[in-house]
Structure 1
């Protein structure tokens, strides 16, 4: 991993219209940790609250899940996720990439079962685990598309 990438703090978002999963990762140790769900109102976050979280974690890179259909086509949710990513970049001036999130929710639900066994499921939701999986996929292949 190039040195400039290894020092990054990454924040990932699994965009949703009612709630959004958030995770944080440290590239130097390739960690990813799901955070609490973030409430949304018809796909719009409380920007003041979201910016407080950003300030607390001080990420240097954002990843936003791009919900594509299995045939690579985009949906209304894809357009809304792209709009969120553009506004996030505009509000923070932090580099923002869209990452294909197909199948992460399914994988996250499987992983949630292990959290339930550990007694952590009430605090962590599949959406935040999906955001964590976006970070893990970024470590394996750091590529994405501009919002």
Structure 2
């Protein structure tokens, strides 16, 4: 199976950023931010995204520690990726997403001047876009 359309997820315990990307153009863009409760999303909203976009695969960011080791959040993100894969019969890939949230906040600040509290205007979808774009860039090299 050739990959064309990919959904990227920036996993979090309260919010999960989602982005869409395609190998043909090598571009990713923000889709939405899903609410999560202790890392569990509203599965009906995930399913709606899967049905709407019909991705060929999913990418989930792994928040590795700065030294490259796997912490608790990394293990939870990997578990989330496996759940998505089993639930929707899609291949999944993981991608090192270290510092994407920091980069996303910097990007938001450059776009709108926002500094500080991101609760009402989260950056999770931007972080998902950054990690998916990184994966696409690596894939296309």
TM-score range, shorter chain: 0.7 to 0.9
1:115 deviates by: 3.4
Match of 1:13 in 2: 9
- CA distance in structure 1 between the aligned counterparts of 2:139 and 2:27, rounded to whole angstroms: 14
Structure 2 residue runs without a partner (length 5+): none
TM-score normalized by structure 1?
A: 0.84
Q: State yes or no: 1:131 paired with 2:128.
A: yes
CA RMSD of aligned residues (A): 2.1
Q: Partner of 1:128: helix, strand, or coil?
A: helix
Counterparts of 2:21 and 2:49, CA distance in 1: 14
Q: TM-score, normalised by structure 2?
A: 0.87
Displacement over 6 Å in runs of 4+: 121-124
Cα 1:131–1:66 change in 2 (3 A) is same
Q: Number of matched residues? A: 135
| Contact map agreement 2:61 2:128 (CA 8 A) in 1 | yes
